[in-house]
Amino acid sequence: MKPFITLIAFFSSFTFVPQLLGQYYIAGDTTLYHSWNIAQTYTPNDTVDIDIDCDGMADLSFISIDGNAPGFPWDRLSLDLGEGVEVCNSGTGFVTGFEQGDTIQFGNAYWTSFLDFIYGTGAAGTYGQASINNKFLGFRKTGDETYYTFIRFSNQGLVFTIHEVISFCEANPLLNILSDFPEESPYLYPNPFHDVLVLKNGAVASSLSIYDVSGRLMGTYITSEIKVENYTPGFYVVKLILSNGKTTVQKLYKR
């Protein structure tokens, strides 16, 4: 059964939402909202755009930037909030993660348009939330009407996953994904891959280990042809130890 989020209340039209001055409650099921199962993990230098008010234009972006980006020596998982867009932060200075069954404050004091990060590093160390585990984040866009979007989200540092989007939009609100695909691997092909990874001619490996983006070891291989048909689509990190002792780490993508 598809999970849904219900805003409290027994309102029959979305336009009634601004008149609710108390709280709303994440609980059950509603015909006003649609559940979009995204289940995709993104890695440093990826950008994901979300439509909140259902006009087909990006209102919110998640942007992951690693410290190797030109002119930017720090890591940062940023929020780019468009005009009129706010994130629920419950007055804490950080994004608020909540679960089904939680009661979330509806008052304006609990939402802000000035919070532009989830996690980052700087000269003084890390800030924000280095790890969010499968929590809903709340966003709203105000104008003639107020639109809400709830995103079930996880991150480990710069690597983030959008599990699900709960939205008023009838079309998928996830608009664009800009990925920084790695350059062609000098030792493995193809990239992106599908069912098989192959060591290029002349490459001899004493060990090849594949990890998912959470760091979980998927398998260690010593063959020149690696069958990966059971892997789910997404990014993977490959640690390759060559016969000459050289170690290389590469990011590959499965379609």
Interval 175-196: pLDDT, tens: 866 665 555 566 788 877 888 9
Contacts of 138 (CB under 8 A, 6+ apart): 87, 88, 96, 98, 104, 111, 148, 149, 150
Q: Greater confidence, 237 or 196?
A: 196
Q: Dihedral through CA 82, CA 86, CA 89, CA 95, nearest 10? A: -30
Q: Greater confidence, 118 or 45?
A: 118
* Average pLDDT of the residues in 156-179: 85
Q: Greater confidence, 22 or 61?
A: 61
Q: Which of 5-14, 80-89, 238-247 is predicted with the least confidence, judged by mean pLDDT?
A: 5-14
Nearest CA among 65, 76, 84 for reference residue 139 = 84
Task: Answer positive or negative: Cα dihedral of 30, 31, 33, 37.
Answer: positive
Interval 189-220: pLDDT, tens: 887 788 898 888 667 788 888 887 666 788 89
Q: Greater confidence, 102 or 15?
A: 102
Nearest CA among 79, 75, 74, 46 for reference residue 62 = 79
What's the CA gap between 56 and 39, in Å, rounded? 21
Q: Greater confidence, 116 or 238?
A: 116
Q: Greater confidence, 71 or 153?
A: 153
DSSP codes, 32-64: S-EEEEEEEEE-TT-EEEE-SSSSSS--EEEEE
* Domains of the chain from N-terminus onward: 14-178 (no CATH), 188-254 (2.60.40)
Task: Evaluate if residue 134 carries a pLDDT over 80.
Answer: yes
pLDDT category of residue 163 using cuts at 50, 70 and 90: very high
**Model pLDDT, residue 189:** 83
Nearest CA among 15, 4, 7, 94 for reference residue 53 = 15
Q: What percent of the chain has pLDDT over 70?
A: 79
What's the CA gap between 50 and 5, in Å, rounded? 18
- Output the CA angle 6-11-12, nearest 5 degrees: 105
Q: Greater confidence, 205 or 116?
A: 116
Taking the CB of residue 74, how many other CB atoms lie within 10 A of it? 13
**Model pLDDT, residue 247:** 72
**Model pLDDT, residue 254:** 80
**Model pLDDT, residue 129:** 92
